Amino acid sequence: MRKFKSLICIILVVVMMFTTLGIVSSANTERLVGDCNGDGNINGKDVLLLRKHIVGLEYVDNTDYADCNGDGNINGKDVLLLRKYIVGLASELATLKPATTTPPTQGELNGAGEAVPSSYSTELCTQITINQIGYSTYASKTAKLFESSGISKDDSQIAKVDVYLIDAKTGKTIMKATTKNRGYDTPSDKYVVEFDFSDCITNGTYYIAAPAGRSYEFVIDSNPYEELNDALLTMQYYQRCGTALDSEIVGNYAHSACHTGDAYPAKILNKDNGTVYVQSDVKTATDFEGGLHDAGDYGRYTTPAVQVVADLIYSYVMFPDALDLDIIQDNAGENISDALDEARYEAEWLLKMQAEDGGVYWKATTIQHANFAQPDKDNYFLHGTYDGSHNASQYGLYVSRVMYESTAGAAGAFATCYVAFKDIDKDFANECLAAAKKAYNWCMQDSAALPRGAKKAFDSIGSNPSIGTGSYGGTACNEALWYAACSLYAATGDKTYSDKIDAMITAGTCNYTGMTAYNFGGFGSVAYLLYDKGDSTIKQNILAAFVSAADTYKANSKTNRWDSIYSGAGMYNWGSNQGICCAMKMCIVADYFNGTDTYEETVRNVMSFILGRNWSEYSFVTGYGSKTP
């Protein structure tokens, strides 16, 4: 459960990639090539319109402004150049020159109108696995079938099954194809075949008919993920701690303010030479209220919080039109996306977790995970029902000691907030920038005292008292510092931070692509790539690291029977979906800053895996899909 919130943020990034594209840019005083929508700006909205124009979903009013490279055509090369121009990797676009393009049309499909054999069952067969939310109109589209859907275990016969795509409203066959053998999959112990219906580009509701029965219904649509995208964003509000939730938004999940109040102590734990001691118990739960519950255990952890802030802000900066939902009462500014509202809510809690010397506490949790109860009725917080070595007075919050990775990561998140909010709420932005500098300076102190030092990672508090909540341990302190240095450099342009970046590159000890609660390196890299004054050579080297990682994931997905990126059964462990989706963020970054679609199919395939096209037959996003937890 602890990883669920992080997983939601990661899926959010994946989903919104294909909802739209966008990035902030400066305004132009007159319409130039690249200003596809004619609003006087060249930014991500123009990229979005250009892509829609190419596939025939929407059209540029004057194609003279869409031919970005001046070759007389409008195609993916123009998208590539426009995106590079926006992020500073290309210096100029073409001058005005007429251009034209023709949207694709669907021709006659094989088997159209043919009757499904009478021997085919009409019962639901969940072993015909699909993306239960649906498929984008012009994207690749496949279903996976395995042995109990009528496929023989004989490998020589496995690819010889005719499968039909059926219009759910009319019952007519749209196309027919013989399945392609994907082979035996060891982790799931299944023989897998594939039905490819990418040639169907007509929006509608469909199902698949195979010998053993029919699949769930699904849609083909120009934007099948909009509702899911909005729900995943609103889910962040459901996780708010320290405030009452609005019943008009969350329905039966409404509750009063939780984990707050001056009557409840907050014991700040520290550790010296292996001995755990209470540093201070003069603070209260109110001093640490806020933030987002990590999951149903109601703990709040600073390293996942850093990821949440980074995920939401960078998602919004890169893809603003996908995250324009605004149903939560604004705390980030009037008419501001809920993505920024929730990022700020989390960041405000991180500010409370910063100690006076600049260090950031590790976590704020009860002594054990909550029982199955509403957040405002958490027994371990209210009544101290823990029946171990502590008496009933041991209730309230336990705030675990300042940690290096928490502090460096928070410095990065604070600086990210400064860049995002400086034109929205200057006071809040300046508070974040001051906190970022303070945290960074703490990390730079030359002290042997725990937990400072680049090699000091998380450890458990120990057995006195026994804290049974999550750890989010790791050893990626260099990556956390990389995020801090890059984001502060993007916020200030200060040579202090660029010198640190240069030194870390020279040392070669940093992973530039991780974007999880355990590794913040990729967030620092995105901060640097988005900064318009960064060194172009460093940008290219960072981007090459993302491309290298994305190439690996693309190759893995092509060989995986289910299009996942894992091979061995042991890789599908608890929380493995988070690892899969984090890998897709790297693919998204590689495509975004290169202006390409090289990894689009890989990301779409992983989305389909998450949304039901897998051996479990479940959509892994609760409440969305035909078969969901």
Do the beta carbons of residue 297 and residue 364 sit within 8 Å? Answer: no
- Helix then strand count (H, E) for the chain reads 16, 15
Question: Distance from first CA to last CA of the chain, Å, rounded?
Answer: 13
What is the rounded average pLDDT of the residues 563-587?
89
Percentage of the chain lying above the pLDDT 90 cut:
53
Has residue 455 got a pLDDT over 60? no
φ and ψ of 378, to 5 deg: -65, 110
Per residue in 161-204, pLDDT (tens digit) is 899 999 999 999 999 999 998 888 888 888 899 999 999 999 99
Contacts of 448 (CB under 8 A, 6+ apart): none
Count other Cβ atoms within 10 Å, centred on residue 320.
22
Do the beta carbons of residue 271 and residue 279 sit within 8 Å? Answer: no
Instruction: Please tell me the distance from the alpha carbon of residue 165 to that of residue 491, in angstroms, as a whole number.
Output: 52
Has residue 589 got a pLDDT over 90? yes
Contacts of 499 (CB under 8 A, 6+ apart): none
Q: Structure tokens of 18?
A: 């294909």
Instruction: Please tell me the distance from the alpha carbon of residue 366 to that of residue 293, in angstroms, as a whole number.
Output: 12
pLDDT at 9: 44
Per residue in 41-84, pLDDT (tens digit) is 888 788 888 887 886 767 888 888 899 988 888 887 888 788 87
Cα angle: 246, vertex 306, 513; to 5 degrees: 130
Contacts 24+ apart (CB under 8 A), 495-501: 497/440, 498/535, 501/528, 501/538
Could you tell me the pLDDT band of residue 24, with boundaries at 50, 70 and 90? very low
Instruction: Please tell me the distance from the alpha carbon of residue 500 to that of residue 563, in angstroms, as a whole number.
Output: 39
Single-letter amino acid, residue 325: L
Do the beta carbons of residue 483 and residue 521 sit within 8 Å? Answer: yes
Is omega for the bond preceding 117 within 30 degrees of 0, making it cis?
Answer: no
Choice between 358 and 89, residue whose per-residue pLDDT is larger? 358
HSE-up (13 A, CA, CB side) for residue 95: 0
Count other Cβ atoms within 10 Å, centred on residue 382.
18
Per residue in 381-390, pLDDT (tens digit) is 887 654 444 4
Q: Structure tokens of 590?
A: 């590689």
Q: Which of 464, 483, 465 is nearest to 417 (CA)?
A: 483
Instruction: Please tell me the distance from the alpha carbon of residue 524 to that of residue 481, in angstroms, as a whole number.
Output: 9
Has residue 218 got a pLDDT over 50? yes
What is the rounded average pLDDT of the residues 133-146?
94
Length of the chain: 629
Whole-prediction pTM value? 0.84
Instruction: Please tell me the distance from the alpha carbon of residue 126 to that of residue 55, in angstroms, as a whole number.
Output: 32
Has residue 452 got a pLDDT over 50? no
Beta strand pairing status for 142-146 and 128-129?
Answer: antiparallel
Instruction: Please tell me the distance from the alpha carbon of residue 66 to that of residue 34, in angstroms, as a whole number.
Output: 6
pLDDT at 26: 31
Contacts 24+ apart (CB under 8 A), 248-253: 249/327, 249/328
Q: Which of 184, 254, 262, 167 is nearest to 218 (CA)?
A: 167
Could you tell me the pLDDT band of residue 439, with boundaries at 50, 70 and 90? very high
Q: Which of 575, 364, 372, 347 is nearest to 439 (CA)?
A: 347
Percentage of the chain lying above the pLDDT 70 cut:
85
Instruction: Please tell me the distance from the alpha carbon of residue 593 to that of residue 348, in angstroms, as a whole number.
Output: 30
Could you tell me the pLDDT band of residue 157, with boundaries at 50, 70 and 90? low
Do the beta carbons of residue 332 and residue 33 sit within 8 Å? Answer: no
Choice between 624 and 2, residue whose per-residue pLDDT is larger? 624
Lowest mean pLDDT among 237-251, 396-410, 460-474, 500-514: 460-474
Q: Locate the DSSP E strands across 304-350.
A: none
Q: Which residue's entry shows tokens 């012009």? A: 138
Has residue 1 got a pLDDT over 50? no
Q: Give 125-177 as a DSSP string.
A: -TTEE--SS-EETTS--EEEEEGGGT--S-TTTTT--EEEEEETTT--EEEEE
Q: Structure tokens of 360?
A: 């950031």
What is the rounded average pLDDT of the residues 445-468?
52
Query: Can you tell me whether residue 552 is helix, strand or coil?
Result: helix
Q: Between 404-421 and 302-318, two packed helices, what is the crossing angle to 10 degrees?
A: 30
Across 146-182, b (16+ Cβ under 10 Å) vs e yields bbebbbeeeeeebeebbbbbbeeeeeebbbbbebebb
Q: 334 exposed, middle or buried (CB, 10 Å; 0-12, 13-18, 19+)?
A: exposed
Choice between 400 and 219, residue whose per-residue pLDDT is larger? 219
Query: Can you tell me whether residue 609 is helix, strand or coil?
Result: helix
Choice between 128 and 1, residue whose per-residue pLDDT is larger? 128
pLDDT at 532: 87
Has residue 22 got a pLDDT over 60? no
What is the rounded average pLDDT of the residues 395-417?
92
Q: 355 exposed, middle or buried (CB, 10 Å; 0-12, 13-18, 19+)?
A: middle
**Measuring CA to CA, how many Å separate 333 from each of 130, 415, 419?**
40, 18, 15
